[in-house]
Amino acid sequence: MGEEKESANSPEHQEEVLHSKPDNTADDIKSYPYPLEAEDSCSTANSEPEEEYNVENLASNAVNESETKHEMNVIGHLEEIRSRIIKSGIVLLLATVLCTINADFLVNELLIGPLIRSSKTLVLQNLVPYGQLSLYLQVVLFSGFIISFPLLIWQIWLFVAPGLHEHERKAGRFSILFISLSFFTGIAFGYFVFLPVTLQFFATFGTPLIKNNISVQDYVSFFIGALLTAGLVFELPFISYILSKIGLLTPGFMKLYRKHAIVVLLIIAAIVTPSTDVVTQLVIGLPMILLYELSIMISAHVNRKKKTLIP
């Protein structure tokens, strides 16, 4: 027994055992249904479409999200516009109600007053049954618009302000005050200067054999048109500020064509002013020339600030 154990543990016996074991590795590989390399290629081929599908899904999701955000932005802007329009309407309504309470004063003193003070020969007459009703409605609406003008501009500013930079918002607050002051200055100029001059000319022009009976509707249209025109003309400095801010207008350009601009402004004054008197035309033309000079100064100030900001 001892000899058998020793022979079993001998190196020669272990080497015989190793050589006598069957090599099943080749059989296992042959018995596998698919080659290993084919399996790897199949798995790689299957993973590539999955990756492409995931990329397409991510791209489509990104497009859908961008479209959703765009739609939300559009809806948000429309809601903001709706809100500002409603608030502006409320402001205008309240101002109109306030003017309606004082409608007789507005009609008798502010509307008809310049006509009476200009000449006693000018007489207003109503030619339609609803003439005075229409007169009162136009007066209170126009007066309400003038009173609420700064608040209406403020509502427009509140809609535009979120899309501006901080320094632009600071300049915008000044712009609202500047627009309002320019508009009110133009209204005052039209009421205290332009209307008396033109009405006095109408009263003295022509033969005394013809009575100057003026239709109420025509007078109201002339009154409102004159004041609105003056108010818009006095916005010329602000227009100069905006055009200079975006780079479309420079003080050099305005100085170069100053003579041409003065001639054009005097021609406009001659067209607007019904009188052929040079003094009367200068009463209208000189403020427009002064506004042009003020616009040059504003444009120069804006361009100086832009140069200091650029490194």
DSSP 246-280: TTS--HHHHHHTHHHHHHHHHHHHHHH-----HHH
Asked whether the predicted pLDDT for residue 48 surpasses 80, the reply is no
Average pLDDT over residues 142-158: 91
Amino acid at 113: G
Provide the pLDDT for residue 200.
83
Is residue 44 assigned to a domain? no
Please tell me whether residues 136 and 263 are part of one structural domain.
no
- Of the residues 234, 269, 285, the one at which a domain ends: 234
β partners of residue 214? 124
Is residue 297 assigned to a domain? yes
pLDDT, tens digit (0-9, with 9 covering 90-100), for 157-181: 888 877 766 766 766 677 888 899 9
Please tell me whether residues 211 and 266 are part of one structural domain.
no
HSE-up of 79 (CA within 13 Å, CB side)?
Answer: 6
Number of neighbouring beta carbons within 10 Å of residue 148? 22
Which domain, by its residues, includes 222?
A: 87-234
Is residue 200 assigned to a domain? yes
Largest CA distance in the chain: 165
Provide the pLDDT for residue 94.
95
Q: CB–CB of 122/58 below 8 Å?
A: no
Please tell me whether residues 300 and 260 are part of one structural domain.
yes
Asked whether the predicted pLDDT for residue 6 surpasses 60, the reply is no
Q: Which has the closest alpha carbon to 236: 188, 185, 173?
A: 185
Please tell me whether residues 222 and 122 are part of one structural domain.
yes
Please tell me whether residues 194 and 256 are part of one structural domain.
no
Is residue 269 assigned to a domain? yes
Provide the pLDDT for residue 5.
44
Please tell me whether residues 108 and 225 are part of one structural domain.
yes
With pLDDT > 90 as the criterion, what percentage of the chain qualifies?
17
Please tell me whether residues 261 and 146 are part of one structural domain.
no
Put simply, whether the predicted model's pTM sits higher than 0.85 gets the answer no
- Of the residues 217, 234, 251, the one at which a domain ends: 234
pLDDT, tens digit (0-9, with 9 covering 90-100), for 194-239: 888 888 887 787 777 888 888 888 889 889 988 988 888 898 888 8
Q: What is the mean pLDDT of the chain?
A: 76
Specify burial of residue 211 (Cβ count, 10 A radius: 0-12, 13-18, 19+).
exposed
C-alpha span between 114 and 125 (Å, rounded) = 16
C-alpha span between 285 and 197 (Å, rounded) = 13
Structural domains of the chain, count: 2
Please tell me whether residues 299 and 180 are part of one structural domain.
no
Instruction: Find the angle CA(93)-CA(130)-CA(133) to the nearest 5 degrees.
Output: 30
C-alpha span between 299 and 256 (Å, rounded) = 14
Please tell me whether residues 212 and 266 are part of one structural domain.
no
Please tell me whether residues 255 and 208 are part of one structural domain.
no
Give, for 212, the enclosing helix (H) or strand (E).
strand 212-215
Provide the pLDDT for residue 1.
46
Report CA torsion sign: 47, 50, 54, 59: positive
Asked whether the predicted pLDDT for residue 31 surpasses 80, the reply is no
Please tell me whether residues 99 and 219 are part of one structural domain.
yes
Provide the pLDDT for residue 29.
44
Tell me if residue 194 falls in helix, strand or coil.
helix
φ, ψ of residue 76 to 5 degrees: the values are -65, -40
- Min mean pLDDT across 145-149, 264-268, 269-273 is at 269-273
Please tell me whether residues 253 and 222 are part of one structural domain.
no
Specify burial of residue 209 (Cβ count, 10 A radius: 0-12, 13-18, 19+).
exposed
